[in-house]
């Protein structure tokens, strides 16, 4: 049924500022964009990470009715090689702490943190040994 992470979408009241912020964070420009019915940008999409997962940015004017604005809901964690450095970089870029660096089970190697980006979305980062195991298994032999 669930085959793998495909796209995570974040809302932004200022879509152009969000595009620029994530382009700086990821070091790439969006590879895909769609205009809204009024001709203004409505959506930008980036590919990021080892498996080119998709990060979509949607103009908040298209937020579904009843969808709460502001941080909340599920947290999607992205594996990073240096958690402390990643959190420091995010904070230096204007994100604010959502959840401080937290070890998840003593000695397991699973350590998480999350920030709220300047557009009100929760962005999780994680040191995850399972991710590295999967990546090693997928490497060409």
Higher pLDDT among residues 5 and 57, named by residue = 57
Q: What is the pLDDT of residue 47?
A: 95
For the whole model, what pTM was predicted?
0.84
Of 111, 51, 58, whose CA–CA distance to 86 is shortest? Answer: 111
Q: Judging by beta carbons within 10 Å of its beta carbon (0-12, 13-18, 19+), is residue 72 exposed, middle or buried?
A: exposed
Angstrom distances, CA of residue 15 to CA of 45, 58, 92:
11, 7, 20
Q: Per-residue pLDDT for 2 more than 70?
A: no
Sign of the CA dihedral 49, 80, 9, 130?
positive
Q: Per-residue pLDDT for 22 more than 90?
A: yes
pLDDT tens digit sequence for 51-82: 899 999 999 998 887 777 777 777 899 999 99
Query: 119 and 13 in contact (C-beta within 8 Å)?
Result: yes
pLDDT tens digit sequence for 107-139: 888 899 999 999 999 999 999 888 888 888 887
């Amino acid at each position: 049924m669930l085959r793998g992470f495909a796209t995570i979408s974040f809302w932004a009241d200022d879509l152009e500022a969000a595009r620029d912020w994530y382009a700086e964070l990821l070091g790439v420009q969006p590879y895909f964009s769609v205009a809204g019915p009024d001709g203004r940008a409505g959506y930008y999409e980036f590919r990021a990470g080892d498996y080119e997962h998709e990060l979509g940015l949607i103009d908040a004017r298209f937020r579904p009715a009843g969808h709460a604005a502001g941080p909340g809901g599920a947290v999607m964690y992205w594996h990073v090689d240096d958690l402390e450095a990643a959190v420091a970089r995010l904070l230096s870029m204007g994100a604010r702490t959502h959840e401080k660096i937290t070890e998840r089970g003593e000695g397991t190697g699973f350590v998480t943190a999350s920030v709220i980006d300047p557009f009100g979305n929760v962005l999780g980062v994680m040191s995850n040994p399972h991710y590295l195991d999967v990546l090693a298994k997928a490497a060409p032999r």
